[in-house]
Amino acid sequence: MIRERFAPSPTGLLHLGHAYSALMAWDAVRANNGKFLLRIEDIDLPRCKPEFEQAIYQDLEWLGLSWPTPVMRQSMRLAAYDSALQKLIDLGLCYPCKCTRKDIAQAMSAPQEGVDVGPDGPIYPQTCKGRPMSEYSATDAIRLDMEKAVSTIKGHLSYTEIGGVYPETIRVKPETLVSYCGDIVLARKDMGTSYHLSVVVDDADQNITHVTRGQDLASATPIHRQLQALLNLSTPTYRHHKLIRDENGKRLAKRDDARAIRSYRENGVTPQGIREMVGLGLNLIQ
């Protein structure tokens, strides 16, 4: 049985891109007699708002989706992230980092566009690499030593991608992880976890078999695959879909309220109309 999840962050109103992800996952579940789960990714507490969480439930219901309750909320799962983090610390793969964004920018020598920027932004210049965990203080972030992490893995890592025309096996290249992703943050100082760590722990705990999400997150998937291997977690099949763009080719952002599902709804667009706008056409599976 397939299990899909839609995992929005309540930091703004859902827009057409979210509708596309959620409906695509929903359709796959309906066609395969599977299960659709909702997960609220609210670890970034200062940016998350209860009214956006309520709007997520309302907009998805209006689109015709349903899910089991209670929904998983990341803010309630800090203990699970902490124990995963502790495993990585015990493997000797982590170090505390006291750099601010400004420190990182200053340590980087004239970054060129497209060269020093990975899925999390600028590649960390490893200023704090090698600091022992015994020096950790509450104002530090915790990073993964990617070189050590990849050298721990025996054999090749891969995952299945079904977002293209044909299913593909994607090999995770250790050298790409080191040079393109670098020493990613596992625990931000303000939240004790990070998107990458929480997402792999939650997908495994929810027994997710298929992850449907935008192409913008495809570059983070090798990081997720690496963490799954280190933590002995299951690897779902990934479907990264094209991004919904505005008429100028710019990808939609949460700030773009004109493209919010809610705005279309208020202007008389039907759920079927939203399907057509994102190119999912008729939903023949009822």
210 vs 213 by CB, closer to ligand GLU: 213
DSSP 201-264: HHHHHTT--EEEEEGGGGGGHHHHHHHHHHHT----EEEEEPPPB-TTSPBP-TT-GGGBHHHH
Judged by beta carbon, residue 147 or residue 256, the one nearer ligand GLU is 256
Q: Which is nearer to ligand GLU, 217 or 280 (CB)?
A: 217
Residue 16 identity: L
Rank residues 2 and 217 by Cβ distance to ligand GLU and give the closer one. 217
Q: Is 199 in the site for ligand GLU (CB under 6 A)?
A: yes
Kindly tell me the burial class for residue 277, based on how many C-beta atoms sit within 10 Å of its own C-beta (0-12, 13-18, 19 or more): middle
In the chain, the DSSP E strands lie at: 3-6, 35-40, 72-73, 94-97, 117-118, 121-122, 141-144, 157-161, 168-172, 185-187, 210-214, 237-241
Shortest spacing between CB 10 and ligand GLU, in angstroms: 9
Q: Is there binding between residue 193 and ligand GLU (CB under 6 A)?
A: no
**Is 9 a residue that touches ligand GLU (CB under 6 A)?**
yes
**Minimal distance, residue 48 CB to ligand GLU, in Å:** 10
Is 41 near ligand GLU (CB under 6 A)?
yes
198 binds ligand GLU (CB under 6 A): no
CB of 184 to ligand GLU, least distance (A): 15
Question: Letter for the amino acid at 87?
Answer: K
Q: Is 25 in contact with 210 (CB distance < 8 Å)?
A: yes
Residue among 7, 144, 157, 227 that touches ligand GLU (CB under 6 A):
7
Classify residue 262 by burial, with Cβ atoms within 10 Å: 0-12, 13-18, 19+: middle
Residues in the chain: 286
Shortest spacing between CB 134 and ligand GLU, in angstroms? 33
To ligand GLU, the closest distance from the beta carbon of 192 in angstroms equals 17
> Does the protein bind ligand GLU through residue 38 (CB under 6 A)?
no
Residue 213 in the binding site for ligand GLU (CB under 6 A): yes
Are 235 and 225 in contact, with CB atoms under 8 Å apart?
yes
CB of 41 to ligand GLU, least distance (A): 4
Question: Is position 280 an interface residue for ligand GLU (rule: CB under 6 A)?
Answer: no
Burial class from Cβ neighbours inside 10 Å (0-12, 13-18, 19+) for residue 143 reads buried
Contact 103, 159 (CB under 8 A): no
Region of 3-11, 56-64, 86-94, 169-177 interacting with ligand GLU (CB under 6 A): 3-11
Residue 228 pairs with which residues in a beta bridge? none
Shortest distance (Å) from residue 107 CB to ligand GLU: 28
Q: Which is nearer to ligand GLU, 42 or 140 (CB)?
A: 42
User: Residue 59 interacts with ligand GLU (CB under 6 A)?
Assistant: no
* Token digits of residue 112: 């060129």
Residues found near ligand GLU in the complex (CB under 6 A) = 7-9, 41, 199, 213, 217
